[in-house]
Amino acid sequence: MTDLAVAQRSLRGLPSLILSPRFLRSALPALSLTVLLLAIFYLQPRTMSYFGLNLLLNLALPIAFATIAQMCVITVNDLDLGIGAYVGLVAAIGATWLNDTPLLGVAALLGCIAIYAALGALIHLRNLPSIVVTLGMSFVWLGLALLVLPTPGGKAPDWIQAIMKFRTPWLPFTIYASVGVALIVHVALMRSAYGAILRGAGGNPRSVARAGWSLLRTKMTMFALAGFFGMLSGLSLIGLTTSADANIALRYTLLSIAGVILGGGEFVGGRISPVGAVIGAMTLTLAASFLSFLRLPPDWQIGAQGGILIVVLAFRAIINRAEARR
């Protein structure tokens, strides 16, 4: 960059900051969410109430948790194709053991998280492609879920239902919970010292290892975190549905990946945005609502949902290209 260009940039000041690709890229998820929300308010004014926002967004919370779980895995440059089935297993355990024999339920859930950590270790030690391992595990999770809950049913523990139905003042519980999760994960991963190590383990593993950090430990930590957030996803989901089905969340696998990417994350590892991921999950949920409020014929809705994704990602590609040009 020449001196002249630098001078020009500093002269332009604020407008150039707003128009800078870096800012645009981090603002894009929030921007698309706002546009979508405004469109929904315009189409269906009924949603502009406590009741309306609650119905509109409450199913976004489990997706947000699943997205954060996926993001943990993507951070260390892996991909989890089993998260949807895993959430289904947690839901099955939650609606059966956790309700009938809480001790067994808690033990089973902790066991699941331990298996997740072990998966991280396995992938690291044997240098296996995570896609293969997690895809294989997705069948294991689904099988276990069917063993725990062969036919749909069960009952979510009352305390989970009470939490999910809790009427917080001003705004629905989902919004507080989403903001809380986004901020906590943001501080932990983006602001803390160890968070930088964890992200570095995905972005540049060799230098992190040279600096004396255990890559095995970072992988296990991130996979355990994925298991933990996957568990929160399953439990919050049955809190809303009141009972479970082994197949309840199979869709979450792709939704969570789309959420991470929509929220500004990238597949290369280390480049993530926890706040963006939560926003991405919300955007995906709202996109479906938006289309149904538009009264689009059912045959077109599937395609239109993909269309919204492509539009948002196309914007990002344009911004990225502009950034590369500088």
Partner 1 sequence: MKRLLATTILAAVVAIPAGVSADTSEKRIALSNNYAGNSWRQAMLKSWGKVGEEAVSAGVVAAADAFTTAENQVTEQAAQIQNLILQGYDAIVINAASPDALNGAVREACDAGVTVVSFDGIVTEPCAWRIAVNFKQMGKDEVLYLAEVMPEGGNLLEIRGLAGVFVDDEISAGIHEGVAENPQFNIVGSVHGDWAQDVAQKAVAGILPSLPEIAAVVTQGGDGFGAAQAFKAAGRDVPVIIMGNRHDELTYWKEQKDAAGYETMSVSIAPGVSTLAFWVAQQILDGQEVPKDLVVPFLRIDQDNLEDNLANTEAGGVANVEYSLEDAQGVINSGS
> In this complex, which beta carbon is closest to partner 1, that of residue 241 or of residue 320?
241
- Which residues are within 8 A (CB) of 181 and not within 5 positions of it... i.e. 6 or more apart? 64, 65, 68, 278
Nearest to 255 by CA among 306, 196, 326: 306
Number of H helices, E strands in the chain: 17, 0
> Which position among 20, 44, 214, 320 is part of the footprint of partner 1 (CB under 8 A)?
44
Q: Name the 3-class secondary structure at 153.
A: strand
Cα angle value 244/246/251 (rounded, 5°): 100
Centre a 10 Å sphere on the Cβ of residue 120 and count the other Cβ atoms it contains.
Answer: 27
Output 57 or 109, the one with its CB closest to partner 1. 57
Q: Which is nearer to partner 1, 84 or 264 (CB)?
A: 84
Q: Near partner 1 by CB under 8 A, which window of 7-15, 222-230, 250-258, 316-324?
A: 250-258
User: Judged by CB under 8 A, which of 302, 311, 317, 318 binds partner 1?
Assistant: 302
Per-residue contact track with partner 1, 256 to 295, x per CB under 8 A?
-----------------------------x--xx--xx-x
CB 57 within 8 A of CB 177: no
User: Binding of partner 1 at residue 235 (CB under 8 A)?
Assistant: no
Q: How many CB atoms lie within 10 A of CB 210?
A: 9
Segment contacting partner 1 by CB under 8 A, of 6-14, 49-57, 126-134, 173-181: 49-57
User: Which residues lie near partner 1 (CB under 8 A)?
Assistant: 44, 46-47, 51-52, 55-56, 58-59, 62-63, 151-154, 237, 240-245, 247-252, 285, 288-289, 292-293, 295, 298-299, 301-302, 305
